[in-house]
């Protein structure tokens, strides 16, 4: 059996997709060491993996304002700085027990490549959202290559820091182009191929396994309304969710309606929403899979994890993206007829109510969601992911 290292960033959208894969690998007898921060250790421990705790340089909760116009220009530098800060800690953590395989999230591309090269072991890139190749990447979608001059201070500092990192560790150089796209021999994407942009251009180096949805009892329990009314889930995810005015608009939109509305408000003070009518409930945290199983519509920030979960349960979506990557997901939802994209529009009560009712009643949307849901469920999830990883381990063994 193999010893497998898993490296990612401390963010729900990157940790959650991996948990059931790790649990499946452990169930099959492999040893997994999962590097994470104190914030996520309690989620990782039940998988059976060894938790390697470390300190991250990344902000645990991003600011909730819209990202600045040049956010995408600075992000690569931020990620390389994180790699430079964490690689020494990971080398110490694995010094007495080097892994046979490195699984790394695409956000820590430099970390994964440097450590795999130093340890002389194979590596697999993990895409919690869309996968990248020469035909499609988030950079291309955002037209970053034309939007920022190579003389931009962030780009200059990124190139210098990336070159400095590989020189310091004595490993082959990583080009900015490879950093942007990824050149690993094998990759797992937690997306259905049919949802992936340019999905037919990805060769057999990529396995599109879809969402890995296992035991989520740790998230608590939830019961649907006894009257059998339609359920609407409203969530802006775990990062850009400090928007009381949005949730108040949702309360106004559906107060006294036929909809039973479930608000997932994170750390927002419930008092900021005022008194809630009987058909609306608010939760800091809830078992999202359970709610989606009963939901007739989902107002979502269009994070890839929640989007795949919605499709798994054939739930139409109204998308309100809060970041540049979520904008790509929301665009794809609309492009495939799986829901409505409200990007760039003020979510007034009238707009929210109209978008939800129109989307939920649209037969074409429901049919498209059901068809895509079948493909998402057939993608294979954690079992297929583990199968693919074991096949990748065989040549190394």
What is the model's pLDDT at position 66?
44
Determine contact, residues 267/284, Cβ cutoff 8 Å.
yes
DSSP 60: S
What is the model's pLDDT at position 221?
87
pLDDT at 65 over 90: no
Residue-wise pLDDT tens digits, 197-238: 999 999 999 999 999 998 777 777 899 998 889 999 999 986
Determine contact, residues 53/38, Cβ cutoff 8 Å.
yes
C-alpha pair distances (Å), 257 with each of 127, 231, 232? 39, 11, 11
**Which residues neighbour 36 within 8 Å (Cβ) at sequence distance 6 or greater?**
8, 10, 15, 44, 51, 52, 53, 54
Nearest Cα residue to 268 out of 290, 287, 250: 250
- Tokens representing 303 are 């994070």
**Which residues neighbour 302 within 8 Å (Cβ) at sequence distance 6 or greater?**
317, 319, 320, 321, 326, 327, 329, 330, 333, 341
Quote the CA–CA distance of 134 and 140 in Å, as a whole number.
9
- Tokens representing 147 are 């939007």
What is the model's pLDDT at position 68?
46
**Which residues neighbour 204 within 8 Å (Cβ) at sequence distance 6 or greater?**
none
- The architecture that CATH gives domain 218-378 is 3-Layer(aba) Sandwich (3.40)
Equal CATH topology for 3-210+379-396 and 218-378 = yes
Quote the CA–CA distance of 92 and 343 in Å, as a whole number.
44
**Which residues neighbour 148 within 8 Å (Cβ) at sequence distance 6 or greater?**
70, 72, 73, 154, 155
Of the chain, the percentage scoring pLDDT greater than 70 comes to 93
Quote the CA–CA distance of 331 and 342 in Å, as a whole number.
10
Quote the CA–CA distance of 375 and 323 in Å, as a whole number.
26
Q: pLDDT band for 395, please (50, 70, 90 cuts).
A: low
The structural domains of the chain, with segments of one domain joined by +, span: 3-210+379-396, 218-378
**Which three-class secondary structure state does DSSP give residue 209?**
coil
This model's pTM is above 0.85:
yes
Q: pLDDT band for 67, please (50, 70, 90 cuts).
A: very low
CATH of domain 3-210+379-396: 3.40.50.2000
């Amino acid at each position: 059996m193999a010893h497998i290292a898993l490296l990612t960033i401390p963010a729900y959208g990157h940790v959650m997709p991996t948990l059931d894969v790790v649990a499946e690998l452990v169930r099959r007898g492999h040893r997994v060491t999962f590097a994470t921060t104190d914030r996520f250790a309690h989620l990782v421990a039940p998988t059976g993996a060894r938790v390697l705790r470390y300190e991250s340089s990344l902000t645990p909760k991003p600011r909730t304002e819209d990202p600045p116009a040049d956010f995408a220009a600075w992000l690569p530098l931020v990620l390389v700085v994180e790699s430079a800060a964490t690689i020494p800690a990971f080398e110490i953590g694995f010094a007495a027990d080097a892994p046979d395989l490195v699984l790394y999230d695409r956000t820590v591309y430099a970390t994964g490549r440097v450590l795999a090269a130093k340890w002389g072991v194979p590596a697999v890139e993990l895409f919690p959202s869309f996968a990248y190749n020469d035909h499609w990447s988030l950079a291309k979608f955002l037209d970053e290559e034309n939007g920022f001059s190579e003389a931009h201070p962030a780009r200059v500092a990124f190139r210098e820091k990336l070159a400095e990192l590989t020189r310091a560790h004595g490993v082959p150089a990583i080009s900015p182009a490879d950093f942007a796209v990824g050149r690993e021999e094998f990759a797992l994407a937690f997306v259905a191929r049919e949802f992936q942009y340019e999905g037919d251009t990805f060769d057999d180096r990529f396995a599109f396994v879809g969402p890995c949805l296992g035991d989520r009892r740790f998230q608590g329990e939830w019961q649907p309304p006894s009257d059998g009314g339609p359920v609407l889930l409203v969530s802006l995810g775990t990062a850009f969710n400090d928007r009381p005015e949005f949730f108040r608009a949702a309360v106004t939109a559906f107060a006294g309606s036929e909809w039973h509305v479930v608000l997932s408000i994170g750390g927002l003070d419930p008092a900021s929403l005022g008194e809630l009518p009987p058909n609306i409930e608010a939760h800091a945290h809830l078992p999202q899979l359970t709610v989606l199983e009963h939901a007739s519509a989902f107002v979502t920030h269009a994070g890839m994890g929640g989007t795949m979960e919605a499709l798994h349960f054939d739930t139409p979506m109204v998308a309100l993206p809060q970041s540049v990557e979520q904008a790509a997901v929301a665009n794809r939802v609309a492009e495939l007829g799986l829901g409505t994209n409200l990007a760039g529009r003020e979510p007034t009560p009238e707009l929210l109510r109209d978008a939800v009712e129109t989307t939920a009643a649209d037969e074409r949307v429901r049919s498209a969601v059901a068809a895509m849901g079948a493909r998402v469920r057939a993608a294979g999830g954690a079992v297929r992911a583990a199968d693919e990883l074991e096949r990748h381990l065989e040549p190394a063994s």
